[in-house]
Amino acid sequence: MRTQIGIGSLLVLGAAFAAKADTIVNLWSGVSGDKANCAAFAFKADAGIYPDSVIPVGALTSPFFLDAVTLYRPADTTTPAIGTGARQITSADAPVYLDVYSGLESGVFTGYLGSSVSSVTWNSTASDQPYTFDFGGLTLESSVKYWFVFSEDNADGEVSNFRFKVNTSGDNLTVGQGKGYLLNDAAQVMKQNGATDDWGTAYEVTFTAVPEPSTMALFALGAVALFLRRRI
């Protein structure tokens, strides 16, 4: 005899084991001059005002799945550098992705890990509003410094630039959201001209905690139980 499993039972089981998306927030300082055209910015999940930057507190594990990165367009009419030169986007309608690298050596990004699965065009953004790059659950470590690099393709190598809010205030020796985001590390952004500077980026990162092995085992047992019940 075959027993039907109600959709409600499946939903309850799915909800019990579904991973919950949480956020890491580095707020803007609120200074009117905190905006820039940059080719890349540094990100470290347990930097800045960690653990207070994680919502809810305690949700961050290592490793974790990167789901999305949200940045903020400044409230002005300035556009990113547009052209065919180094680290420029070719047009305001060019799709721009975020590539992820684990290092920067002599002005060259190294250790390509992947790219966003969605892109943003400058013309699709709005003054003083957020814009988001979606990722397919890229696995990152919480204690590693990564470089998020603007690019007109979702592959290794090409570097462009975009415009967003940054935090220029703070002290490199004091924990904070600007120059203190990465303590004792003055390379936090790569500017459009290729130089680095000690500016923290205003962002919101959405992530999903990697399930514990015991949770995964429990999920597997639940799936087996459902399969056997369906066959009775």
- The two three-digit tokens of residue 108, written as one number: 């060259």
Closest to 173 in 3D by CA, of 163, 161, 186, 160: 186
| pLDDT for 5 beyond 50 | no
Q: In the structure, what pLDDT confidence band is assigned to residue 232 with cuts at 50, 70 and 90?
A: low
Asked if residues 36 and 161 have their Cβ atoms less than 8 Å apart, the reply is no
CA separation, residue 39 to residues 11, 88, 152, 160, 164 (Å) = 43, 8, 11, 6, 10
**Per-residue model confidence as pLDDT tens digits over 11-69:** 333 333 344 579 999 999 999 999 999 999 999 999 999 999 999 999 999 999 999 99
- Look up residue 5 and give its amino acid: I
Peptide bond into 51 cis (omega under 30): yes
